[in-house]
Amino acid sequence: MSTTEKYDVAVIGAGVSGLLSALALGKEGKKVLVVERENYIGGTCRTYEHQGYKIDTGPHIITRLDTGPLRVLMDKYFDVIPYFVPFGKYFLRINRQVKQFPWSVKDWMMFELLPVEDRSMLVKIIFDVAYMASTGVDMSRVSISDITPRSLSHTSHAFIDYLSYFMLGTGPANAPVSRFLDRKSYKVEKPKEDNGLTIPYVGKAYNMLVGGRPTDQFYPRGGVQTIVDALSYSLPEKVKINLGDELVKVDIAPNGLAQMPKVTSTTTYKGIYETDTVIYSGYATDLPRLIDSPLPSYYVDNLKKIEKVNSLSVWLGLDEPIFKDEGSEMWVSTSPDTFHTWMIPTSNYDPTLAPKGKHLVGFAFIVPPDMPYDKAEEKARHTIFSNIPALESHMNMIHYQHLVPEKATWSIHAGFGDIKTPVKNLYCVGSDSFKRSMGLTRASYSVHKMLDTLGLEGNLNLL
């Protein structure tokens, strides 16, 4: 197979991180080829129609939108920006009781869903964490279990378990406290820990556990597809997307006297493309089989330890609006026969996502990797209808999605990828390449870090 065309950059994958990379590099003057094996773009950030409802690929919330990484990328590179509506409040549902999430010490002490003794201990934990952080303790190696008193009630342990799984994709024993200290500003500073993060251990102590009252969280009107549509519309002519084409290998060659080999081209099922740089947005765990030369054992061993986050989303169409508030509910499971759950009444943010007079509600569940699909769906249904039995009689549509919302858990004992690789001019982006936030916000952080790295290595002069 002969070389078909030369590009400055080949981007592998047309999910959000790949599209953001292609957009930024194209706007910075690079000639970019995007290779996507599916016949659509967007990855796990899409909206499609099902029985008259417009359904996202999983319930979504866009965090840190005021000044965070996606906002910076949109302001700099997008030609059109989606319209976002405020996400609203968070509610906790525990043992069928519902209360607004406690954001201050005063709220915690009045939070009746947890025993009063536990509330006092949880507040003490927050201040203990603040002290530990201020004295220089590496909080990326301290787990949530390490700081949790064993004397907490079963309900309070379940609450902490919920926060760990939904914020990091892993349980408290593997969840680093540093995730809960993660600051909101987008700027990536000089490398220290966690793939280039410097975490400031200052501010109000109670914010360190729950991240502060959510005033910068939004939902895109029209569904998450509007973000992908805005990305697609903003792509310059220098960017070409090949759909239905799959990467076979990244071709590398010796790099003079340097020990690190360099990228020379990419081979897909449709051709060979000479390229100076490759931005890979697929699963980092697949990289070793996609490089035509062995990678260092330390790098491969780390990739082998990466653990994906497996989720199930269940969408219900209801014959009338049941949930009135603009805001989500966090359902804490205290029983082994139910899941922890995140519920979002999506059509409250945009009524056009449901047929007129109907209601669209999404439920997200973190699922064990070895659980069969049918068992997960059965347990999800039981979780939903045991908490709110009336939903079943109002349901006129149910739809399931099995997804990987995060390509890597943020875990003390698991592996995690990086922006840089052992191959010169081969970089990774996506939720398994940079430890910061979650979902689309994490993907945006990874693109920022990639652009900064290209600049530092002389491969990009930011305009």
pLDDT in tens, 286-330: 999 999 889 999 999 999 999 999 999 999 999 999 998 878 999
Q: Which two tokens stand for residue 219?
A: 């939902």
Same-fold call for 3-46+226-306+409-456 versus 309-406: no
Domain topology for 3-46+226-306+409-456: FAD/NAD(P)-binding domain (3.50.50)
User: What are the boundaries of each domain within the chain?
Assistant: 3-46+226-306+409-456, 101-212, 309-406
Phi and psi at 21, nearest 5°, equal: -65, -45
* Across 435-439, average pLDDT: 90
Q: If residue 444 lies in a helix (H) or strand (E), which one and from where to where? A: helix 439-456
Q: How many CB atoms lie within 10 A of CB 203?
A: 12
pLDDT digits (tens, 9 = 90+) for 362-417: 999 999 999 999 999 999 999 999 999 999 999 999 999 999 999 999 999 999 99
pTM: 0.92
Q: What pLDDT, on the 0 to 100 scale, is given for residue 197?
A: 36
**Architecture of the domain defined by 309-406:** Alpha-Beta Complex (3.90)
Enter the tokens of residue 261.
Answer: 């080999």
